[in-house]
């Protein structure tokens, strides 16, 4: 009878390989986001001059990138908060907690809209595409989370 009870107990949830890969990619992305905060702002002028000296430089193609680089400490410190929120969400999803998905999704919506609202830049459709792709892939893994 005791052996039967062990088989009927709920098995602990197991993280899928796909969810593991998604989380690892998110950990890397968040790490790069944190590094960006502390590298771009102090090195913006150097980076802009380096780009301007490159062969085939086209000023029109870099206007928004230069505005983003010159956004300053306030912008990058504020943008660091949703990066950390996305990281917290990824850690929660790593631990199979559904709330992590919501943290991750909200953080990425903020990250997408921050340059548009703060700097009046255009919405970057490549970022929208990849963010939507990751949110969709994470959503497909909700069945493994509690």
Residue 29 has pLDDT above 80, yes or no: yes
Other Cβ atoms within 10 Å of 124 Cβ, number: 15
6 domain-assigned: no
39 domain-assigned: yes
1 domain-assigned: no
45 domain-assigned: yes
Residue 63 has pLDDT above 90, yes or no: yes
For the chain, the domain total comes to 1
- The pLDDT confidence band at residue 3, using thresholds 50, 70 and 90, is low
118 domain-assigned: yes
Contact predicate 100/144, CB 8 Å? no
Nearest Cα residue to 104 out of 20, 13, 23: 23
72 domain-assigned: yes
The chain-wide mean pLDDT, for the chain, equals 92
Q: What is the pLDDT of residues 68-82, one digit of tens each?
A: 999 999 999 999 999
3-state SS string for 29-92: HHHHHHHHHHHHHHHHHHHHHHHHCCCCCCHHHHHHHHHHHCCCHHHHHHHHHHHHHHHHHHHH
Least confident span in 26-30, 54-58, 130-134: 54-58
Other Cβ atoms within 10 Å of 47 Cβ, number: 15
Contact predicate 135/109, CB 8 Å? no
Q: State whether the Cα torsion 37-43-47-49 is positive or negative.
A: positive
Other Cβ atoms within 10 Å of 90 Cβ, number: 24
Provide the domain limits for residue 33. 16-144
85 domain-assigned: yes
Nearest Cα residue to 89 out of 14, 27, 21, 20: 27
| Residue 9: predicted pLDDT | 59
Q: What is the pLDDT of residues 79-135, one digit of tens each?
A: 999 999 999 999 999 999 999 999 999 999 999 999 999 999 999 999 999 999 999
52 domain-assigned: yes
């Amino acid at each position: 009878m005791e052996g039967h009870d062990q088989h009927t107990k709920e098995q602990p949830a197991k993280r899928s390989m796909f969810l593991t890969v998604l989380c690892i990619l998110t950990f890397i992305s968040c790490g790069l986001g944190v590094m960006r905060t502390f590298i771009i702002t102090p090195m913006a002028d150097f980076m802009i001059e380096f780009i301007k000296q490159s062969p085939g430089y086209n000023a029109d193609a870099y206007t928004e990138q230069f505005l983003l680089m010159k956004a300053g400490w306030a912008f990058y410190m504020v943008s660091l908060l949703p990066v950390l929120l996305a990281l917290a969400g990824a850690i929660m999803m790593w631990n199979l907690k559904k709330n992590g998905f919501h943290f991750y999704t909200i953080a990425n919506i903020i990250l997408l809209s921050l340059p548009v609202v703060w700097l009046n830049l255009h919405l970057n459709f490549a970022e929208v595409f990849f963010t939507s792709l990751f949110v969709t892939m994470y959503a497909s893994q909700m069945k493994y989370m509690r």
